[in-house]
Chain A
Amino acid sequence: MDQAPEESGVAPLRGTLCLTGHHLLLSPGLQMTSELWLRLLRSVAEAVRLGGDSGIITQRCKDLRVLQLEILDAEESLDIARSIEMAQLLSPGAVLPGIGITSFPFFYPFKGLRLRDAWHFHPPERYYKRTAREVGAVLGEANEDFSLSADDDALALSARFRRGGRFPVLSYHHALSGTVLLRSSQPLTGPQKRRRAEELLRAGLAGARPGARGFIVDTRSAQAAKQARVTDAGTEAKAAYRGWKRRHRPLERGRPPQESFMCLVEACGDLEQSIDHWLSRLEGCHWLPHVKEALSTTCLAAQGMEREGACILVHGAEGTDSTLLVTSLAQLILDPLSRTMAGIQELVERDWIQVSGHLAPALRPPSRNPASLCPWLCPLPRPVTPSSCTMPTWPSHLFLDCVWQLGRQFPLSLEFGEGLLLALFEHAYPSPFGTFLCNRRDGLCEVRTRTHFLWSGLNQPKEQRRLWSPIYTPSPLAIWPSVEPWSLRLWQGLFLRWICPPEPSGAAWEKGWQIVTDKEKTELLQPSFSLWAPTLNAGSLDSG
């Protein structure tokens, strides 16, 4: 069917629209360039059809793009809008009776990749083994296969004591100061349960330097933590945790950051607004304060470890979103290994994909049943209601933005560039890869065998220039970001990516690469000459 889609800020394109099982495809007429234009159906967050006989569909995509399709026939436009809506309703892992799994990653033929390749590229076990060597294996196996080590009573007790069974686990071991970063969920403070959890944390302290102190960073405000007592949860009682002190750093979670994000996306869509209007909207969105709070809480935790030599336990209510945000950012600040390409992939895999279980509220509203011991050991994902999937935001938007801020302040210290962050952002939503598909590691065993793995897709050599930073210089030092308001900037590459394409800066990036590769070329030539010289020498001696 013929129609003219219009992109904001781009000249309208005329062509034929095709709707397949997974894609929305626009092919321009023969007279035009062969430019094809493809969207995954699931990437459409919202398709609004205007009333009347105009036949205009406005699509808001999850990658922040806004498309307008003008379809000549009003009847057809209605059909298309309905089809798109239907496609959204399907959960990614949904098994339809008689059809089987419909999700696209199961059908994605990636050129140059074999199935089952590299699903074990970054096994978290490897990381824990490495750390275990350093720590002396105090904390037990990290919940391998989601079954608690049966012989370790303390762990099991602690698990029962913590909301959702998320007992304190090791997130990062800082070798230099011998301190550890732990994370958990809030304690369930029943009168009998108090003593038992102490054992575990004492063990944590014992593993660190003698005389080390411990700090519990609660990502809720003191008041919110008190309120949680109503549901038999709350905070660690001071008396029961000798050697541990509690600090509250309220980080907003759930709805507020999500609304801020959406509000900012909307503000960025208006090209005509005056500077004053733009600044007041930027302020009103309140997104950057979230970034600032996340970074400063992280720095507090990281500094506690590095400077004060204290062990840190981070938890909020569930021990998921904001807790993960803090622990993973702290690693980026302290751990030079996690700032490499392999390191960040390992970190995302370990902290967000495998352990979190909370990656995809985009796909499924989180279970909030306090009675259930392990709500994150979820059943198969259910189909979602449309209301919960309009432009959602997983907590890692905040994570990605924080990492971007780190990268902007320390351009030499990250081995990956903005490209990787954008790729992660894109793939966390509809993606041809199966990595982000379900909420838990073994949620769908078939994901592993029948879909491609994101990291193998990203680690292709052809992606190098886009994802890697040309100017990375390894350094073993910690990077302490500035959290002053003027040091934090709007992430234009994300929020404005479809509005003002960053052409010149992209060209500058390319030029940076060119200079670096030139350097490598000449450096490679250099040793070949010096190697060559002795042979010449030998030859000349021979003939002499």
Chain B
Amino acid sequence: MEHIRTTKVEQVKLLDRFSTSNKSLTGTLYLTATHLLFIDSHQKETWILHHHIALVEKLALTTSGCPLVIQCKNFRIVHFIVPRERDCHDIYNSLLQLSKQAKYEDLYAFSYNPKQNDAERLQGWQRIDLAQEYARMGVPNSNWQLSDANREYKICETYPRELYVPRIASKPIIVGSSKFRSKGRFPVLSYYHGHKEAAICRCSQPLSGFSARCLEDEHLLQAISKANPVNHCMYVMDTRPKLNAMANRAAGKGYENEDNYSNIRFQFVGIENIHVMRSSLQKLLEVNGTKGLSVSDFYSGLESSGWLRHIKAVLDAAIFLAKAVMVESASVLVHCSDGWDRTSQVCALGSLLLDPYYRTIKGFVVLIEKDWISFGHKFSERCGHLDGDPKEVSPVFTQFLECVWHLTEQFPQAFEFNEAFLLQIHEHIHSCQFGNFLGNCQKEREELKLKEKTYSLWPFLLDDQKKYLNPLYISTSPKFTVLEPNTVSFNFKFWRNMYHQFDRTLHPRQSVFNIIMNMNEQNKQLEKDIEDLESKIKQCKNKPTDGILTKELINSIHPESPTLKTSLCFKEQTLLPVNHALRTIEGSNPADNRYREYAEEFSKAEPGVVSLEYGVARMTC
């Protein structure tokens, strides 16, 4: 790689981000074509993908070396001290180049090879099939049909080829409506609730300005409301704050005039735009990066960042949507400005509340594929995959994941997946390791030939399901068909495992999920053993007197249950006599926690001696 000047630097220090006493680990830093790798003296490896790097900073030279701070998009922050300034400068420059690629073709996904052949790769891409998903919802049917209007991306470049529209909406109406909508994103079906026969539709803002109207658009909305045989009155949700929508009117855009459309009820839900969200997250991260943060400062920072308020706004909108469908059986049309950020959030969350299928692992993947990827959420711009406009970067998808996390907290039994699944997806929207999230819309993805040149993330997640299963999940509980979350303020919490996921030392944890999972598996294994043994006993009884067989029977117990064996080992381990090397529980080490600074007081010499030392230090400096 032409950008890499130095591949290896020794004696690099990795500072602990939250230590007030500048504790550090010493090790070697390696720079590869795709990763930055730090191996400390305990042989612990820290891998950082170049694409994860959001910001590299070179701080002012200190006596111990040149500090290099790297902030990642997955909220990892590392602080190196490189002994020689030249090395630091080389690495800094290389990282600047490597983390901001100008072309899609230079991204990791185009060089990543998980050792699969072409057929396997193609099969991986076909694992998620949206046509199948629409069939599962029950469309096409007598009211909804597949439209071929956008087959060649002629009407809307940012929509997928296959779009579902009301059967009575003719092509001229669709074309006319698309001309009246920002970026041509006319109202199409996002989710169809078979039981209530109500639909969730999505579009972008109308180009209504102060008085413009469009008959085709009015017809299309009427077609949507007529496609619902139960309730002819439909909701139009503008997910923006009213002020923003009014301001857009001056630019010839805006919102629907209730007088022009028959049978609609118009509603603002007030989710802020991408710029507000970006700076809100920025504030949140600033507060959380503070050394020696007090509890009070933490909460006032959390409040002033407004992050949780925004999360609540998104969730509230989704609840409004779900209620309209469930309680009133009404169809809902959702839009924001361009209909790819807030609209995706609200439609996806609304469907998640309504349909238990989306709460399974496969279903959640389908949901992301449908409402985010296919409908043109601009992943590459929002995640900053390429060196582009920093103002287009915004944590819209992160917010969606956080909303889902809040739901999993409130309904621990309603989701098939666990937190690790959400974190893994978040990791990969930035990693550029797989092709799924590259590009900003389907058309762009096709032009990049992603399906031929890169791999899909989903088969890797789906095949590795075990890691992401929630042991408490109940798949068939009538209680959890429709989720009705409580959005009282206490229920919104800081998602520590997301924003501090790499600060492992800060929060010792024991995974309840893992242990319950293991127990569940052991149960199954043991039950299987019992069945096997019972059947063998039956055989024994049938076949009279065979000593060898029964011996076999006894032997068969242990070899057949490896999980039981491991569980026994596990128990032995915990009963081991305590030696001095083994004094703490996973990650819980007093030396890693903040109170170690207090403990250093213990080691301090008497004050008299200290002051003398200070004197000496001053003289030598």
* Residues on A facing B (Cβ under 8 Å): 176, 215, 245, 247, 249, 268, 271, 273-280, 282-283, 286, 288-289, 292, 296, 299-300, 302-304, 306-308, 310, 409-413, 471, 473-490, 492, 496, 499-500, 504-505, 507-508, 511-512, 515-516, 518-519, 522-523, 525-526, 529-530, 533-534, 536-537, 540-541, 543-544
Contacts and interface: CB of A to CB of B under 8 A. Distances in A.
A299 B593 contact: yes
Given A308-B602, A489-B493, A522-B530, A412 B510 contact: yes
A477 B516 contact: no
28 contacts: A176-B583, A274-B489, A280-B303, A283-B295, A289-B295, A296-B594, A296-B595, A300-B595, A300-B599, A302-B590, A308-B603, A409-B509, A410-B588, A412-B515, A413-B510, A473-B574, A475-B585, A477-B582, A478-B585, A484-B18, A485-B298, A485-B299, A500-B491, A508-B413, A515-B519, A526-B526, A536-B537, A537-B550
B425 interface: no
A278 B489 CA distance: 7
A275 B512 contact: no
Contact of A271 (B288, B488, B526): B488
Contacts of B596: 303
Given A279-B303, A292-B295, A481 B529 contact: no
Contacts of B294: 289, 485
Contact of B585 (A278, A306, A479, A483): A479
A286 B296 contact: yes
- Is the contact region of chain B dominated by helix, strand, or loop, or is it mixed? helix
Nearest to A238: B606
B512 A486 contact: no
B492 A475 contact: no
B65 to A, nearest CB: 28
B46 to A, nearest CB: 20
- Scoring B530, B598, B601 by chain A CB atoms within 10 A of each residue's CB, the highest score goes to B598
Interface in B491-538: 491-494, 496, 499-500, 506-510, 512, 515-516, 519-520, 522-523, 526-527, 529-530, 533, 537
Interface in B242-300: 288, 293-300
A307 B596 CA distance: 11
Contacts of A534: 554
Contacts of A176: 578, 583
The 9 closest A-B pairs by CB, nearest first: A485-B298, A278-B489, A283-B299, A279-B303, A522-B526, A508-B412, A544-B545, A299-B595, A412-B510
B526 A525 contact: yes
B551 to A, nearest CB: 7
A247 B490 CA distance: 37
Interface string B294-319: 11111110110010110010000000
A484 B19 CA distance: 12
A488 B598 contact: no
B33 interface: no
Nearest to B471: A515
B533 A529 contact: yes
A487 B515 contact: no
B546 interface: yes
A100 to B, nearest CB: 46
B583 A478 contact: yes
Contacts of A276: 303, 306, 309
B508 A481 contact: yes
B515 A279 contact: no
B595 A483 contact: yes
B506 to A, nearest CB: 5
B300 A280 contact: yes
Given A276-B306, A474-B574, A480 B488 contact: no
A279 B472 CA distance: 30
Interface in B568-621: 574-576, 578, 582-585, 588-596, 598-599, 601-603, 606
A338 to B, nearest CB: 15
A282 B592 CA distance: 27
Interface string B470-496: 011010000000000010111111101
Contacts of A541: 545, 547
- Scoring A279, A283, A487 by chain B CB atoms within 10 A of each residue's CB, the highest score goes to A279
B557 interface: yes
B411 interface: yes
A276 B295 CA distance: 16
A473 B515 contact: yes
B540 interface: yes
Contact of B410 (A249, A504, A533): A504
A504 B168 CA distance: 44
B593 A482 contact: yes
A484 B597 CA distance: 13
A499 to B, nearest CB: 8
A303 B293 CA distance: 21
- Scoring A473, A504, A516 by chain B CB atoms within 10 A of each residue's CB, the highest score goes to A504
Given A277-B489, A303-B590, A530 B585 contact: no
Given A283-B295, A289-B295, A299-B593, 20 more contacts: A215-B602, A247-B601, A280-B303, A300-B598, A304-B599, A307-B591, A473-B574, A477-B583, A478-B584, A478-B590, A483-B593, A484-B507, A486-B288, A487-B507, A490-B490, A504-B413, A519-B519, A522-B523, A523-B526, A537-B547
Nearest to B310: A275
A479 B136 CA distance: 49
B553 interface: yes
Interface string B405-442: 00000111110000000000000000000000000000
- Scoring B489, B500, B554 by chain A CB atoms within 10 A of each residue's CB, the highest score goes to B489
A46 B236 CA distance: 49
A304 B494 CA distance: 32
A306 B512 CA distance: 27
A299 B584 CA distance: 13
Nearest to A336: B578
Contacts of A516: 516, 519
A279 B510 CA distance: 28
B585 A540 contact: no
Contacts of B295: 283, 288-289, 292, 485, 488
Nearest to A492: B490
B494 A486 contact: yes
Contacts of A476: 574-576, 578
Nearest to B493: A489
Contacts of A536: 537, 540, 550, 553
B296 A526 contact: no
A527 to B, nearest CB: 10
Given A410-B510, A480-B508, A486-B496, A540 B599 contact: no
B564 interface: yes
B584 A278 contact: no
A249 B18 CA distance: 21
Nearest to B537: A536
Contacts of A500: 486, 488, 490-491
Contact of A544 (B547, B553, B590): B547
A400 B288 CA distance: 27
Contacts of B522: 519, 522
Nearest to A307: B590
B578 A480 contact: no
A274 to B, nearest CB: 7
Nearest to B489: A278
A308 B599 contact: yes
A280 B588 contact: no
A483 B506 CA distance: 8
Contacts of B308: 275, 279
Contacts of A289: 294-296
Given A411-B512, A481-B588, A540 B550 contact: yes
A492 B493 CA distance: 11
A394 B11 CA distance: 53
B585 A507 contact: no
Contacts of B585: 410, 413, 475, 477-480
A505 B410 CA distance: 7
A243 B303 CA distance: 47
